Amino acid sequence: MLAQLIVSGLVNGSVYAVVALGMTVLYRSTTVVNFCHGEFFMLGAFAILVSQQVLGWSYTASILFALILLMLFGSLVERLLMRPLQNAPHISLAMMTIALSYLFKGISRFFYGREVVPLEPLVDGGPIELGSVILLPQDLLVAGSSLLIVLGFFYFFQKTQAGKVIQAASQTPRGAALVGINVPRFQNFMWGASAALGAVAGILIAPSTLVYPDMGAHMLIQAFAAMTLGGFGSLPGAVLGALTLGVLENLIGGYVSSSLVEITAYLAIIVVLVVRPQGLLGEWRQGRG
Amino acid sequence: MDKSLPASTGPASRGPRVRYILVIILAALLALPPMVNDYQLFVANTMLVYCLVAVGLNMVLGYLGQLAFASAAFFGIGAYVAGLSMVHLGLGSLPAILAAAVCGGLAGALVGLPALRVRGYYLAIITLAFGELMRWLYVHADGVTFGSGGFNMPGIALFGSELSGTGKYYLFLAVVVIGVGASALLLHSRYGRAFVAVRNNEAAADSLGIAVNRTKIIAFAWSGLITALAGALYAILNGRVSPDTFGISQMLMHFVIVMIGGLGSLAGSVIGAVLLTGLPELLRNFPGLEEIVFSLLLIVVLFFMPKGVGGFLSSRLPWMRERLYREGRGNA
């Protein structure tokens, strides 16, 4: 039972990792904490739903459509709504992302109301037994894709020229601008990439949960919890925190009480911020926030 | 604009004009009930409730400059404490309202504690978690709170007689006048001026001998008290308390009211509450439309009226200027 709980916790945690990574990347590059990231996650799932069930496209085509759409969405949000406010107080920036979060939720609720819609699984097949642990092919796909995405991100940031430019621009935007890096364009790209990461998580999780307008709200808090656990703003911390949270939720649900699962994330946030605000891996700095 | 904080900025020192206008408004409010029907009276009562909410949230968001998401939680605490103390303990409505205010103040001080350690986004996240935790508690402590279905309020009596809509109106008006008036006095005392000093520059405030931690706790506690007061009135007005009322969409309503009214403006808070309370009534029958309209309004205000209606008015009408509001980025 313990092994099963840990393994399925890691599967859940890997989805949190993709969401938390998307938020951390944006936070690192723009110092904006995006309260509408949960809605990017929700819109990813809805994009699949609409292209499959309304337009009748195949899974592959819908996934491509969702990713491109959300990438476009993210950069439009940056260009039209966030950039004009870049010199505004930080409360205004936070309020803008909060407004967007409700706007997206309202739009999807306007069309889907209180419906909860199921999606077909991404892969078929019976459960796979590995010793005492039973996994669905869907779980393996989710964990595998998340792992690939996370590794790809780290490779991009640490090893490629473009990744290093991005790191430079997020450390000192002004310095980067002085040596000729187009900082606004890079921030625009990061909004797109972050939205696409949110969409990936939505696409991965939608078949095993259901699709509904409020699905992003809880995920946002789980991503916050993952980031806080790992250390706010640290990329490896976000991944580690997400996996820890996934396992923690399952252990508490399995051994203590299943009604505590939904508040594990809240408790984690409160305990970590009060006891060890820098989290597991983070360097503690009172940022611009 | 002069850059020093004037020594005496009590409401009375802003000239007789403001005083006359306040008296006229109050007289108009007192004369209102006979002129409106029951439904309009209900909307007026809701406006009174949200005036308090806006003033309570503005205390932390506007004056102290801290991004906190707890006002829906304070609102809920007020409603639950008032309702449950009437149901379980058989308190009358006035003691129940007082109990709600006290518990709200305590909850505010409790939420203020992490604000001593964490700031900005960290505070936003921890207060968000607090609000959701409270909601979980309302659902799962069902022995006391009646679980996810909520409960109905007992009849509201004051001095032995059942309160009608008009009676509620005068009760609410009295509570709101006291709450907003006390907030204005607090803001113009040395404690209130300390809120603004801490917002503008914590280190500078500290070096001037302002006890930063105590200031933050006072602001949070007062915000909790005022918002819980509003929650108690809300429960009395609607006669029903249930957990899903105090979720994230309640929070959006609070934010929009304060942002439209203007951060750091008491007059703006009241104006924002009056402007926005009618809307949900109009949009009730369309799923999602309320969220769409509110969020679009918030976006428009952020773009075109960053200081809200209060800031806009005080730039046109000098006598409306609230001296505590200071332009600048603040530290939030």
Closest Cβ opposite residue B129 in set A91, A270, A288: A270
Parse chain A into domains and list their residue ranges: 2-119+129-275
In the prediction, which pLDDT does A285 show? 52
Of A179-193, A228-242, B87-101, B157-171, which gets the smallest average pLDDT?
B157-171
> DSSP 3-state assignment of A32?
coil
The partner residue sitting opposite A92, judged by closest CB among B124, B249, B302, is B302
The residues, ordered by sequence, that sit 6+ positions from B203 with a Cβ below 8 Å of its Cβ are none
Give the pLDDT score at B324.
59
Q: Which residues of B touch A232 (CB under 8 A)?
A: 121-122
Distance of CA A246 to the CA centre of its chain: 14
Scored b (16 or more CB within 10 A) or e, A246-263 reads bbbbbbbbbeeeeeebbb
Residue B332 has pLDDT above 60, yes or no: no
pLDDT of residue B186: 92
Residues on chain A touching B298 (C-beta within 8 angstroms) = 95-96, 98-99, 102
Stretch B12-23: mean pLDDT: 70
- In this model, does residue A286 exceed pLDDT 80? no
pLDDT at position B12 over 70: no
Encode pLDDT of B56-115 as tens digits.
Answer: 999 998 888 888 888 999 999 999 999 999 888 888 888 999 999 999 999 999 998 888
8 A C-beta contact, residue A229 and residue A279: yes
Chain A positions touching B118 (Cβ under 8 A) are 273, 277
* pLDDT tens-digit map of A73-90: 999 999 999 888 888 888
Residue A63 CB contacts under 8 Å (≥ 6 apart), including other chains: A48, A203
- Across the range A96-107, mean pLDDT stands at 92
Q: Looking at domain A2-119+129-275, which CATH architecture does it have?
A: Orthogonal Bundle (1.10)
Using the Cβ of A92 and the Cβ atoms of chain B, whether some distance falls under 8 Å is answered with yes
- Residue B77 has what pLDDT? 95
Mean pLDDT of B266-295: 81
What are the CA-CA distances from residue A172 to residues A126, B181, B258, B295 (Å)?
51, 47, 33, 32
Average pLDDT in chain A: 87
Say yes or no to pLDDT of B243 above 70. yes
Mean of all residue pLDDT scores within chain B: 83
Give A259 or A239, the one with higher predicted confidence: A239
